[in-house]
Structure 1
Amino acid sequence: MDTKLPFKLMLLWLISGMLLIPELMKAQQNLQFSQYVFNMLSVNPAYAGYKEDLYASAIYRKQWVDFPGAPQTANVSVDGALNASRDNRVGLGFQVMYDKLGPQDATSMYGMYAYRIPLNEDGDKRLCLGVGAGVTQYAIDGNALQYNDLNDPAIPLGRATTWVPDARFGVYYYTSRFYVGASMMDLFSLYTDDSRYYWKGYEYKTIRKTQHLYVNAGAVFGLSDQVKFKPSLLVKEDFRGPTNLDLTALFYIADRLWLGASYRTGVKLWSKPALASDLEQLDAACALVQFNITEQIRVGYSYDLTISKMASYQSGSHEISIGFLFQGKKQRVLSPRYF
């Protein structure tokens, strides 16, 4: 590697190199969105159908702006309750996600099914069980890699890809004022090893998912006729790397505007001998806003301010989102959907 490269670029290639060395780095926190609180389908398949009417959303995240090769992530999803099912008990969802880090990228597609058991006559209190199945295409672009010598045999030529099946499972309980959920993601990651490539005796390991446990909860409190307060938390655990905790506080104003902030940090819930004892826990603080343009259209934006030692090498992370609710012809009386 050219020693004259800027420090940020050298740091990026160090990270990428760790991903390419087998057994050196198996665990990696799963993809994350600061605005997951507005559509939790990406963290729990049991959420499918929560809004009942068909809901489509798209979100794009550009992380660590000005850092060469920094992560970029996009997600498009659609979900809704199946009207033909009794009491709208069946929720269906579909999601496509794209993630890019330096010379590597992953594209995932999932279909999701949720069985939503009503626990009261109004149907606004339910226990939901959800499953998801899909496939991920892992890829590495050898043309994007730098090399010491021309025709360096340690760098693959062109773009190599492979497909890996996957599944997820979740439980989601909600009322009109409270929710709690848990999900296991990337269930097949322990049993497949197809995301490695072999070329001229060299082994390459791309961005690799590992099993993740997500646990989240939240509630909404009325502060006045025009203002409601919604605190929530999300715990992300991959059983090898640091446990992550997202704490979010939002105010809902005049049934139109969401304003709030979140704080992301690592937490030590139990001992993990493989982790360094002095590992930094702080990650980011985030400002969030979502505006309901109409009853059907929502737009959102968030900005992550990095508060770790990475802060001086980049200028934060941006996220934009848009959602559209397709209201059915059949008029239904729904309790407000705060989650």
Structure 2
Amino acid sequence: MRKFRYISNLLILVVSISWSQQETAITQYWSNMNIINPAYAGYDGQTSATIMVRDQWSGIDQSPQTQMLTFDTYLGRNVGLGLSMMRDKTFIETQTVVSIDFSYRLKVSEKTQLFLGIKAGGNDYNVNTVGLNTYNIFSDPSLESINNFTPNVGLGGLLVRGDWYVSLSVPRLLNTERARNDNGQATVATDRPHYYLSSGYKLGLDTDRVWTINPSFLLRYVNGAPISIDINTMLRLENKFGFGVTYRTDQALAWICSISISPNFTLGYAYETSTRSTLAQSGNTNEFMLSLRF
């Protein structure tokens, strides 16, 4: 019975990953925009560091685990510099992406600024097949372990006008190869560039802006996969407490809360559940965020 449950969970995991985006989707995306858009490096004139940990589908053994770290600072003379790191682990597959971000600010008008960014780095991709149980007497050459490093570059733009912004980016322009399950056969697939479009607005609900509401969205597009959109609304009190909800069009719903212990220290938590029938019993997703500003 235990073996049957393990196999069932593994099948759910494989099917879900095959239908999902190739790059990781995070719920609190506005806290880690450097990961997908290098134009955010130093855009607010401050130095900041953000750590995020995501435990997806907690009811499935060896389900996706993601850790992210971003650092960015304003160097002066309209120049920003950043570092972004992301580690993804799903079953026997591990990816580690490290990038350096560079941004430049252009003043379009008195209230409008345009930030242009470039990202340069690479992806360390590893598939560890040691310990896999197979039904064949002879080893399958397609199940050999994989370990390679692929360099990559990305581009991004950010337009800010008052309390409104719009962001467009392609964090990885070059195609890279990875392993994939294709009707029960281990094959090699090509990761295609992902396009991200995001926009949001900060609206004061009273004259002193003690209460604000922040509607936003993040659209993800990759050729050959359905478009995924996160639609989010956050209600904030004096920029100290935040409560919100996110709906993802590929059938996910999340509740979010954040607390700023000081102007330089913010904690965030997101609890995400899937509305997809194949994942209804696979457990929920927990996402933790820690942000520091200097």
TM over 0.5: yes
> What is the rounded CA distance, in whole Å, between the counterparts of 2:91 and 2:242 in structure 1?
34
Superposition pairs for residues 155-234 of structure 1, below 5 Å?
A: 156=143, 159-189=145-175, 192-193=176-177, 195=178, 204-205=187-188, 209-224=191-206, 225=208, 226-234=210-218
Pick from 295, 311, 321 the counterpart of residue 263 of structure 2: 295
* 1:109 corresponds to: 98
CA contact (8 A) 1:78 1:94 kept: yes
CA contact (8 A) 2:205 2:213 kept: yes
1:244 aligns with 2:228: yes
Counterparts in 2 of 1:4 and 1:48: CA distance versus 1, 3 Å: same
Aligned length: 287
* 2:253 corresponds to: 285
> What is the rounded CA distance, in whole Å, between the counterparts of 1:220 and 1:40 in structure 2?
17
CA contact (8 A) 2:82 2:102 kept: yes
CA contact (8 A) 1:285 1:306 kept: yes
> What is the rounded CA distance, in whole Å, between the counterparts of 1:236 and 1:13 in structure 2?
21
Structure 1 position 15, deviation (Å): 4.2
Structure 1 position 115, deviation (Å): 0.8
1:129 aligns with 2:124: no
Alignment gaps of 5+ in structure 1: 20-24, 267-282, 327-339
Structure 1 position 144, deviation (Å): 4.2
Pick from 230, 241, 253 the counterpart of residue 257 of structure 1: 241
Alignment deviations for residues 232-290 of structure 1 (CA, whole Å, 9 cap, x no partner): 01110002111001100001102211111110014xxxxxxxxxxxxxxxx11111111
Counterparts in 2 of 1:203 and 1:250: CA distance versus 1, 3 Å: closer
Superposition pairs for residues 297-312 of structure 1, below 5 Å?
A: 297-312=265-280
Q: Secondary structure at the match of 1:214?
A: strand
* 1:11 corresponds to: 11
CA contact (8 A) 2:10 2:60 kept: no
Counterparts in 2 of 1:156 and 1:55: CA distance versus 1, 3 Å: same
Counterparts in 2 of 1:129 and 1:254: CA distance versus 1, 3 Å: same
Structure 1 position 149, deviation (Å): 4.1
Q: Secondary structure at the match of 1:143?
A: coil
For residue 118 of structure 1, what is the amino acid of its counterpart?
A: K
For residue 315 of structure 1, what is the amino acid of its counterpart?
A: G
Q: Secondary structure at the match of 1:9?
A: helix
Structure 1 position 293, deviation (Å): 0.7
Q: Secondary structure at the match of 2:28?
A: helix
Q: Secondary structure at the match of 2:58?
A: coil
Counterparts in 2 of 1:253 and 1:54: CA distance versus 1, 3 Å: same
> What is the rounded CA distance, in whole Å, between the counterparts of 1:210 and 1:68 in structure 2?
28
Pick from 285, 289, 293 the counterpart of residue 317 of structure 1: 285
CA contact (8 A) 1:12 1:69 kept: no
CA contact (8 A) 1:8 1:67 kept: no
Structure 1 position 13, deviation (Å): 7.0
TM-score with structure 2 setting the length: 0.89
> What is the rounded CA distance, in whole Å, between the counterparts of 1:247 and 1:203 in structure 2?
35
Pick from 69, 76, 94 the counterpart of residue 62 of structure 2: 69
Q: Percent identity?
A: 25
Q: Secondary structure at the match of 2:57?
A: coil
CA contact (8 A) 1:103 1:142 kept: yes
Structure 1 position 51, deviation (Å): 2.6
Counterparts in 2 of 1:291 and 1:10: CA distance versus 1, 3 Å: closer
CA RMSD in angstroms, aligned pairs only: 2.6
Counterparts in 2 of 1:120 and 1:10: CA distance versus 1, 3 Å: closer
* 1:47 corresponds to: 40
Larger radius of gyration: 1
Q: Secondary structure at the match of 1:240?
A: coil
> What is the rounded CA distance, in whole Å, between the counterparts of 1:156 and 1:243 in structure 2?
31
Counterparts in 2 of 1:131 and 1:146: CA distance versus 1, 3 Å: same
> What is the rounded CA distance, in whole Å, between the counterparts of 2:9 and 2:173 in structure 1?
34
